[in-house]
Chains A and B, each alone.
Chain A
Amino acid sequence: MARYAMAIDLSSCVGCAACAVACKLENEVPAGVSRLWIRLEESGTFPDLAMQYRPEQCMQCADPPCVGVCPTGASHVTDDGIVLVDAETCIACGACIAACPYGARYFDERGFVGKCTFCEHRLAEGRVPACVETCPTLCRSFGDLDDPNSDVSRAIRAAHRVEVLKPEQGTHPKLVYLDAPARFGLASEGVPK
């Protein structure tokens, strides 16, 4: 059983949104909602400026608050550590949407809750999630945390800074951010791009 995780190198990300577009098409995400979005933070005054682009999506938490609140068990964690929603048993009550501190879930008007699935359908074929595969700055890595030679394990080891969003929530995200530009902590304020 793997323990899937993703790392995003914020020193490389340029906020181009290739990942967001790829996700939209790969997963037929309806118009108006997103599994993946880019946040832009700026700081400073001319000419002493800094910027950070930060993609956000489901953090695939090791302690996901969205699972316990689900009345039907539709929201569950697989043996590989991926948090998923079974659309058949989901009753779209919205409890999980409220419980997620990252805003990662949305209502699909077809009657269930949607979210990032780490492109589970690709993993079965030995491929990586669509966002990881397409990124033209190669800032995303993915793989099994329990495998020291996986891309994500190596990326985490090589990084100077490894951070998560909202650590105070105790969710233990398995999506981690590497080497955020020095001026930025991972404040969750910022202009969504």
Chain B
Amino acid sequence: MKRREFLKLSAASVGALMVASETQALKLPNPLARAPKAWYDGEVSTVLTYCENCFWKCGVRASVADGRVWKVDGYAKNPKSRGRLCPRGQGAVAQTYDPDRLKRPLIRMEGSERGEGKYREATWDEALSVIASGMLAIKERYGSESMAFFAHGSGDTWFGDYLPAAWATPNVGKPSVSLCTGPRETAAQWTFGRGIGGHEPIDWENTDYIVLVGHHIGEDTHNTQLQDFSLALKRGAKLVVVDPRFSVAASKADRWLPIKPGTDTALLLAWLNVLVTEGLYDKAYVERYTVGIEELTAHVQPFTPEWAAPITDLDPDAIRAVARELAAHAPRAVVPPGRHTVWYGNDTQRMRALYLVNTLLGNYGVEGGFYFAQPPYIEKYPHAAFPLEPSSGGCSGASGGETIDTGYRASVDHGKFFAKTTAVQELIPAMISGEPYRIAGLIAYGVNLFHSIPNVARTQEALKKLDLYVAIDVLPMDHVMWADVILPEATYLERYDDLVEIAHKTPFIELRQPAVEPLWDTKPGWWIARELGLRLGLEKYFDWPDIETYLDKRLSTIGSSLAKAKQAGTLVQRGRPYLSDWEQRNLDPFGTPSGKIELYSQSFADAGFDPMPVYEAPEEGPAGSYRLLYGRSPVHTFAKTQNNWVLMEMHGDNAVWIHTAEAASLGLKSGDYVWLENQDGVRDGPIAVFATERLRRDCVYMVHGFGHRAADMKIANARGASDTALMSRYRLDPISGGAGLRVNFVKLVPGAPRPRLPRLTKLAERSV
């Protein structure tokens, strides 16, 4: 009997290891071996998939050795990456191997408060059962519509579309709509009868003159767009940038117009004025493809450059010159729509004005302007018909006739705005007030509730009132550690997802397939949705046994297969990019009521909105405060990447940008720490000051996504400040439902303590 066995701990034999054979003698090499073997010297296999580190979804080739992904790269045949990746794409691997990742399902300790962060680990079976019984109890008591789903990311097909539709709730919100693209989609739907879509259909390769309005290409690093933009400039295309800030794009521009924030519509109206009054617009195009030119001509008469100049704080000759230059280069002149367009609450009309400028240049559907992005052809999986279709609208927003399914109540935000979609921030009040009916449960998939939705205090109040709050995520973000049940999803390198369908010049389908097995006990979104569905009595909608069957079936509808798609990664089809492609087939691309581009929107007039855009002056802030503007870092995606050590080494903090003269008047210089306090007395920070010449004096600017709050401040993770926290106020766009976010004003309060944080090089080691 061995001497040690008289007393043995039951818990000690974890069963981590098995004894195989007693093999050869141990040769432990010097653990700190120099010249360690590089990953690429081993046996490397590659897997084609697509990235998840932003919403662009570039095709990547993952390099795998020893059961680990070491590197991802683009691949040439993928029309998004074309063999290249942005910094977030390159750095995404670090997220898969982040020790802070959610590892196993967690259930909130009984008796603890939401937000206290007290959890125990649980099996998947237990966690899913808790969720299912909670949801069924809500359905019994309040109806299935009382469950809300908020979703973002590739898995939003499961948690924003499939499962909510099978469950039968219309209360599905996607921040990518009402907190981002909503106004541009709605305006495009009602001007062109087509949305813009996730891959902006700008014909960069053929354009000669580009005007960016508040569009930070270069800091916004949507891969293909940045490639195309750079190639256009290399080719000699001219660039004008309209922005209160000297952005990276402005540094490449031939002309920078440092416009007063909130006045862009006046500038666009002035351009319409010049194009119309000087007869510079494309008359043949307008005659053939539009309605409303007479109304528009009359409408824009007062909006001269001289009228716009004092409003925008720009030189009238510069305004006039840009309009003339646009016309001179037309139709190879374009004003791209940008992406995040929820600025001031009147954004649909601003986007209408932008589209009208493009239309008068005759560039819509023409080389050098906007091409028609066609979706690829592939059929959905032939599941049983859902009880209702979700009205979240996806990135493109909804258009056409609205169907409120009989037998189910409309979404709780129905009637608050004109567009046929939901607005995520408008689904929250019903959680608090119970009007028009109560929302008692929420599943948040991949959505950062405290760093995307304005009025964070209201969100937190709502979460406290729910009967059931479930978070499905990859990392323990602030809002995740409030949930009743936390489900850990596997990262993109570890899972399949539904096919991605990209509307494009050359429409294509991308496959996501796992490169490695999921770490810990994490699971793919499809599996979670299915397992939950089975426990909710929805098995008839999940008659496919696994994702491979599901995908293979879908791919078979276009004569392909999962096996072929795994080899190819991307399946490319033919598109219909220009007007000529449509006319050849006697097809009308414009899905408007008139069948043409609507310069004058009768539908808007009928609904009580301006049928043509007018300028509305923005509210001014209190004296001594600055309008809060925000934007992107090229190495970060929203609030998603601030735990990625590789990306944080590149950019580990945000700062509040303020003009040097303003800083001086406040006694501040770069590197001082301040609190930011908004018009409602809400504070965030500390944040470092960046005194710069690159900004107007009436505003401040910060990069979005920082200011994550630690539950326990001893482990200070709070780097920088959160702009979302300072957005206690937003202005609802009554047309799109978008939440105008640039309507908050902040004071800089000096004397904030310099945060004492671990050095970033130690970040990856945490405190170990």
Contacts and interface: CB of A to CB of B under 8 A. Distances in A.
Contacts of A53: 248
A136 interface: yes
- In this complex, the interface size class of chain B, counting residues with CB under 8 Å from chain A, is 35 or more
Given A16-B634, A17-B635, A136 B650 contact: no
Given A50-B251, A133-B83, A14 B634 contact: yes
Contacts of B646: 21, 24-25
A146 interface: no
A121 B38 CA distance: 10
Interface residues of A, number: 46
A136 B86 contact: yes
Interface in A26-46: 26-28, 31-32, 34, 42, 44-46
A20 B650 CA distance: 8
A110 B123 CA distance: 40
Contact of A31 (B83, B227, B764): B764
B204 interface: no
Q: What is the interface of chain A mostly: helix, strand, loop, or mixed?
A: loop
A26 B36 CA distance: 14
A112 B36 CA distance: 11
B39 interface: yes
A17 B693 contact: no
A50 B87 CA distance: 24
B645 interface: yes
A88 interface: yes
Contacts of A69: none
B643 interface: no
A15 interface: yes
B227 A49 contact: no
A139 B89 CA distance: 18
B307 interface: no
Interface string B25-59: 00000001111101111000000000000000000
Given A15-B634, A16-B86, A46-B693, A25 B33 contact: no
A76 to B, nearest CB: 15
Contacts of B83: 133
A94 to B, nearest CB: 16
Interface string A110-151: 111000000001000000001001111111000000000000
A33 B696 CA distance: 36
Interface in B197-224: 218-219, 221, 223
A28 B251 contact: no
B84 A136 contact: yes
B34 A88 contact: yes
Contacts of A16: 86-87, 218, 221, 226, 634-635
A51 B763 contact: no
B2 interface: no
A162 interface: no
A139 B695 contact: no
B359 to A, nearest CB: 30
Report, nearest first, the 7 A-B pairs whose CB atoms are least far apart.
Answer: A32-B761, A87-B35, A14-B218, A16-B634, A137-B230, A51-B251, A21-B90
5 contacts: A14-B226, A21-B90, A27-B38, A49-B250, A110-B33
Given A12-B234, A17-B634, 20 more contacts: A11-B233, A14-B226, A16-B86, A18-B221, A20-B87, A24-B91, A25-B70, A25-B91, A28-B39, A31-B763, A32-B649, A32-B761, A46-B693, A47-B246, A47-B258, A51-B694, A110-B33, A130-B71, A134-B90, A138-B227
Interface of B: 32-36, 38-41, 70-71, 73-74, 83-87, 89-91, 93-94, 218-219, 221, 223, 226-227, 230-231, 233-234, 246, 248, 250-252, 256, 258, 634-635, 645-647, 649-651, 659, 692-696, 761-765
